Structure 1
């Protein structure tokens, strides 16, 4: 197993790396990952406002094809993430150090961006976006695994809150900066901002040094008999007599799916993504039809929807560190049920009071803002539950996921659930609005709220189930 930075500190045969203390500190690692994810979201959103120019002027495509090609190009990332996430997670867990993967992903992002910027054919454009998508997938899987492996367990929620703020800045900042620079300076001036942010990201990733929050403590606990309990639990005694074999391939995922915390987090993350993606599809059209609003008021509504995360993500993360993720997540989904109903009311003829003068848009704006606040309770639920589920299983069965743990593989599943939700959300909301109307569609989405609670099994039961699987793995795997 690769030596941690603390082992290097203690070794007399190796010189301590420059700036070891601050380069391996929790806050510097979190800041590095936050900038990395901000960069990724910036690259994703950057292309949106200048894509019509790229397709129609640089590639010379017919205007009638712009919407179709844009949809296919932006959807490519979701498909790549679903396919590549498990593969990247598997190899990242078995390679030990994550820093090399992060630098490799950054090189892919730079190469893909250069190809997209220089593209003069549709094939080249999709090739560049493909490379960007693979790099993005690796960053999300390995980046969150790096956080899980380097951040103390009791600070994970707060640190994920900082990362959520950075993701929000990247998501909103990409289209904004691209649009402003493109209008004022032209195509290549706009792309210069991409080069700047990638160079800054390179510097931080090269400076970062990894440290494990649990490798040393596990090793010390195994070697120090003073830390062993006097009367081990029955299944602990059984594990002592029966060595735990490493779970690889499908065995890993079957074991994780026996943990209720993991399943609940994945389902919650999927539902959260579906609800979030529905706004992108339906909000601009609804406010146009119901209130005769243009792009500016719709943009302000999106700011009201996404803005609260900047202010509430860190405090909510701190709360989750204190009370866990289950109760904030349950409360969040419960509050979304009436709020999703409420945003469907304005503009619906069955509710005349909500169609009078200014009442409708005030109610709608307030409801959208309230939803933006409430969903802060759901931020990072999939990643946190995946991380904590791995911790629980490995604590009961040391070595079950190999010497480097199983964070990358578990987080890859959570990442896939989010991606599938973002893919399904626009389809469900768009088709639902056409068939049963905006009000009916939001009632259907609101009914998803209680669904994740059915998967929140008792933690002890889920741990016992995985332990049983460990001792008696199913045949044929």
Structure 2
């Protein structure tokens, strides 16, 4: 085969001839480009998710003829379908990713699933098609979050993971920030073609970056021209560099043990394990309470995010008769605080540790979430009109009804109050992102260091983030259902 043809195949990573380096090997395997590719992948997932959320009530009303008063259960159901698919597929994605030689192939397959979901959402005119689309979107999310976070850890190491995750989350929060607004604007001005046109453009950019990226361990194979040696050499060198960097900061020497004798005993895993553990090597790590706590933190964060996604658009429609554009603008306060504070909290995790930041975040969120009960519907909203219709003209209205109607007298004040509370809630949610990811990665890294033969060169990091994604998606599954039910019953 001609050398130029081999070069092209290697450049596109279709061939695995490690004697011929692909074009742009250095910049394609550069740390910044790898992290940027992961960030774009996560951005695309959140952008397409956020693009649809504010127009879901209107999509159901326009296409399926569902009355506005009955939209909430269907919105919650579609959000749940997305999250449930991610729950089921996340551990599968983790296991498959740990068994393949590179992360790129499953990374690209996840993008194909997202493309199919977007096409179905664009053309779907039945609830069944919309549900299938949301399921495919959930599968794509499971892949990109599982593979992406594992790739981040392999690229920068656990010592720099906090600030890396903080920066990535700050960037991808732009997707949450811009997507609902764009979705509302484009829906008002150009209809569904405008909304989904921008989605397909983002998918094209994401595809190009995922196709071009080369993992560091794969780049090492080209440098050594040995497809097996590159993994080991690259992992050893990265581990050596990370330890040297950490030692310089902490004043440790080469003789300083990585783990104390007590820790060595605790983190030791016997090689004699049942078949299920041999396949799911992360299972022995779950004995660590810190790892379980990290998963709980991720689940609660997702529960809250799902609750906001399910209720903000419907409250905007039913309380304030907002258009899709205005509904999308209400996600702006949530996104701005995340964008501004994400890197700050990531830096704080690297400096102060995960426990102080996580504790502060959830203590702070308690009063903020309670205060979200303050906003009331405006006088002309369906909720207020329904309340007025329920009042018997022959009887005196109840004190609760009078208080509700009095609170509706100034709709601008109600909207401003709600927006301010959403901003404060976004600040708390920004602080919950990094602690769970960093804590989980640090704990599993200790198990990996203590049991290198059991875990292998790559470790169980894809399984770790697959399980983390599953827990996160479980929160996204339950959040919309609980929030939607509570909104219907108690407002």
Q: Which residue of 2 aligns with 1:381?
A: 435
Residue 86 (str. 1) matches residue 106 (str. 2) = no
Residue 149 (str. 1) matches residue 203 (str. 2) = no
State the SS of the aligned residue for 2:456: coil
Correspondence for 1:314 among 343, 349, 356: 343
TM-score (norm 1): 0.73
Distance 2:454 2:443 in 1: 13
**Correspondences of 1:26-425 after superposition (within 5 Å):** 26-48=31-53, 61-64=64-67, 67=71, 69-119=74-124, 123-211=128-216, 215-217=235-237, 234=261, 244=271, 249-250=276-277, 252-282=281-311, 294=322, 300-344=329-373, 365-425=419-479
Contact (CA 8 Å) 2:177, 2:336: kept in 1 or not?
no
Distance 2:181 2:124 in 1: 22
Q: How many residues align?
A: 417
| Shift of residue 21, structure 1, vs aligned partner | 2.9
Change (3 A) 1:359 1:113: closer
Contact (CA 8 Å) 1:33, 1:147: kept in 2 or not?
yes
Post-superposition Cα deviations, 1:66-112, rounded to whole Å, max 9, x if no partner, equal: 83555433321111111111111111112131111111211222233
In structure 2, list runs of 5 or more residues that go unmatched. 1-17, 218-230, 242-252, 378-398
Contact (CA 8 Å) 1:262, 1:389: kept in 2 or not?
yes
Contact (CA 8 Å) 1:23, 1:209: kept in 2 or not?
yes
| Shift of residue 200, structure 1, vs aligned partner | 0.8
Contact (CA 8 Å) 2:349, 2:434: kept in 1 or not?
no
More RCO (CA 8 Å, sep 6+) = 2
Change (3 A) 1:178 1:232: closer
Q: Which residue of 2 aligns with 1:5?
A: none
In structure 1, list runs of 5 or more residues that go unmatched. 1-12, 439-477
State the SS of the aligned residue for 1:96: coil
Change (3 A) 1:106 1:297: closer
Change (3 A) 1:185 1:425: closer
Post-superposition Cα deviations, 1:334-354, rounded to whole Å, max 9, x if no partner, equal: 22233333444566999x9x9
| Shift of residue 154, structure 1, vs aligned partner | 2.5
| Shift of residue 329, structure 1, vs aligned partner | 0.8
Distance 1:426 1:240 in 2: 38
Change (3 A) 1:413 1:247: farther
| Shift of residue 328, structure 1, vs aligned partner | 0.8
Distance 2:427 2:139 in 1: 32
Change (3 A) 1:123 1:142: same
Residue range with higher mean Cα deviation, 291-300 or 186-195? 291-300
Change (3 A) 1:248 1:109: farther
Distance 1:146 1:231 in 2: 23
TM-score (norm 2): 0.71
Post-superposition Cα deviations, 1:44-69, rounded to whole Å, max 9, x if no partner, equal: 23334565676676xx6443498355
